[in-house]
């Protein structure tokens, strides 16, 4: 089993280092880890909030890289890539480093990726990009705080990773962990993605004031921001509410797919008829 590690905060992020060291130890000491191999391909800089963006690959047909070493994970070959996380996942997924990964492990992100922030998360974007290539994945994020207990998330991530070893291909998970020591964790629950917004409002428009020709638009972060915030209107099994109440939240994810809702068929047929009519009348 081949594991590709990446993140969206950059090669020097503490969360990636903690995850790398945990995987390194697992590979060398765990009965389930032995026989597997891992490689790290992480961005050169912070790409938080970049979702599945790959950048302008037409203007930049090559990706600069360099070899790096993460202290405590010297047995994992590590590359710094001048690329956002989704492009890192693609590069790794194409077998550029010698083999095609079976699992993409992304994180540990400092800040939860719950609610609608899942759409915008570079941590999750790497996993969903891998899924489009037929690769399973796990995105790992940690609730923000003055001191982030990354080790709690790393411990849980390895447990989920072992489940992924036996799972069907194209299994993708989003794991969000409260910022507590492992012994204080209340448990782990299956979570739904809540409807919490990343941004609730922006600048003068929110107060009904007209915009000038230039200036700054201050943002008001919603309950899906890294610090989570108010989850009083969430259901008990929504991801943000679970993390805020001390539970780790595990959510299965699915990437872009055709909407097969039969209720849309009439709208599709009407649109096709309109388009066909316009095409034929223009001939």
pLDDT in tens, 28-87: 999 989 899 999 999 999 999 999 999 887 887 899 999 999 999 999 999 999 999 999
pLDDT of 208 reads 64
DSSP state of 31: T
Task: Tell me the residue range of the domain where 38 lies.
Answer: 2-192+233-253
Q: What is the pTM of this model?
A: 0.92
pLDDT of 216 reads 84
Q: Which DSSP string do the residues of 83-113 spell out, in sequence order? A: S-HHHHHHHHHTTTTSS--SEEEEEEEES--
Q: Say which residues have a Cβ less than 8 Å from residue 103's Cβ, sequence separation at least 6.
A: 1, 2, 3, 4, 135, 136, 137, 138, 161, 164, 165
Q: Tokens standing for 55?
A: 């950048």
Q: Exposed, middle or buried: residue 28 (CB in 10 Å: 0-12, 13-18, 19+)?
A: exposed
Distance CA 72, CA 66 (A): 19
Q: Is residue 128 in a domain?
A: yes
Distance CA 105, CA 4 (A): 6
Number of separate domains in the chain:
1
Q: Is residue 227 in a domain?
A: no
Q: Is residue 228 in a domain?
A: no
Q: Is residue 61 in a domain?
A: yes
Checking if the pLDDT of 205 tops 80, the result is no
Q: Contact 38/97 with Cβ under 8 angstroms?
A: no
Instruction: Using DSSP bridges, classify how beta strands 2-6 and 37-43 pair: parallel, antiparallel or unpaired.
Output: parallel
Q: Is residue 219 in a domain?
A: no
pLDDT of 230 reads 83
The better pLDDT of the pair 255, 174 is held by 174
Q: Contact 179/232 with Cβ under 8 angstroms?
A: no
Q: Is residue 216 in a domain?
A: no
At residue 206 the predicted structure's pLDDT band, cuts being 50, 70 and 90, is: low
Domain CATH number, residue 103 = 3.40.1210.10
Q: Exposed, middle or buried: residue 35 (CB in 10 Å: 0-12, 13-18, 19+)?
A: exposed
pLDDT of 77 reads 97
% of the chain surpassing 90 pLDDT = 76
Q: Is residue 220 in a domain?
A: no
When mean pLDDT is compared across 38-52, 76-90, 140-154, 207-221, the lowest value belongs to 207-221
Distance CA 278, CA 276 (A): 5
Residue 172 pairs with which residues in a beta bridge? 137, 253
pLDDT of 76 reads 98
Checking if the pLDDT of 209 tops 70, the result is no
Q: Say which residues have a Cβ less than 8 Å from residue 151's Cβ, sequence separation at least 6.
A: 18, 22, 182
Q: Is residue 267 in a domain?
A: no
> In the Cβ-directed half-sphere of 170, how many Cα atoms lie within 13 Å?
6
Q: Which DSSP string do the residues of 206-268 spell out, in sequence order? A: HTTPPP-SS----EEE-TTBTTB---TTS-TTBHHHHHHTTEEEEEEE--S-----GGGHHHH
Q: Contact 81/25 with Cβ under 8 angstroms?
A: no
The better pLDDT of the pair 274, 208 is held by 274
pLDDT of 200 reads 81
């Amino acid at each position: 089993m081949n594991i590709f590690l990446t993140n969206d905060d950059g090669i020097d992020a503490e969360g990636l280092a903690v995850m790398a060291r945990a995987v390194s130890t697992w590979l060398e000491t765990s009965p389930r880890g032995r026989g597997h191999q891992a490689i790290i391909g992480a961005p050169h800089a912070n790409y938080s909030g970049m979702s599945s963006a790959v950048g302008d690959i037409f203007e930049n047909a090559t990706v600069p890289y360099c070899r790096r070493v993460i202290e405590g994970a010297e047995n994992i070959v590590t590359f710094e890539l001048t690329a956002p996380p989704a492009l890192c996942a693609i590069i790794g997924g194409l077998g550029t480093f010698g083999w095609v990964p079976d699992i993409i492990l992304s994180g540990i992100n400092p800040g939860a990726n719950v609610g609608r922030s899942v759409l915008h998360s570079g941590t999750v974007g790497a996993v969903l990009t891998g899924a489009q290539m037929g690769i399973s994945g796990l995105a790992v994020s940690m609730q923000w705080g003055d001191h982030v207990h990354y080790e709690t998330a790393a411990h849980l991530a390895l447990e989920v990773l072992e489940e992924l070893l036996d799972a069907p291909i194209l299994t993708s998970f989003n794991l969000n962990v409260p910022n507590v020591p492992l012994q204080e964790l209340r448990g782990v629950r299956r979570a739904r993605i809540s409807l919490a917004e990343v941004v609730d409002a922006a600048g003068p428009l929110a107060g009904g004031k007209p915009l000038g020709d230039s200036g700054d638009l201050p943002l008001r972060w919603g309950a899906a921001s890294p610090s989570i915030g108010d989850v009083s209107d969430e259901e008990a099994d929504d991801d943000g509410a679970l993390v805020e109440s001390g539970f780790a939240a595990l959510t299965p994810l699915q990437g872009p797919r055709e909407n097969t809702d039969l209720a849309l068929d009439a709208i599709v047929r009407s649109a096709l008829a309109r388009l066909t009519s316009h095409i034929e009348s223009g001939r």
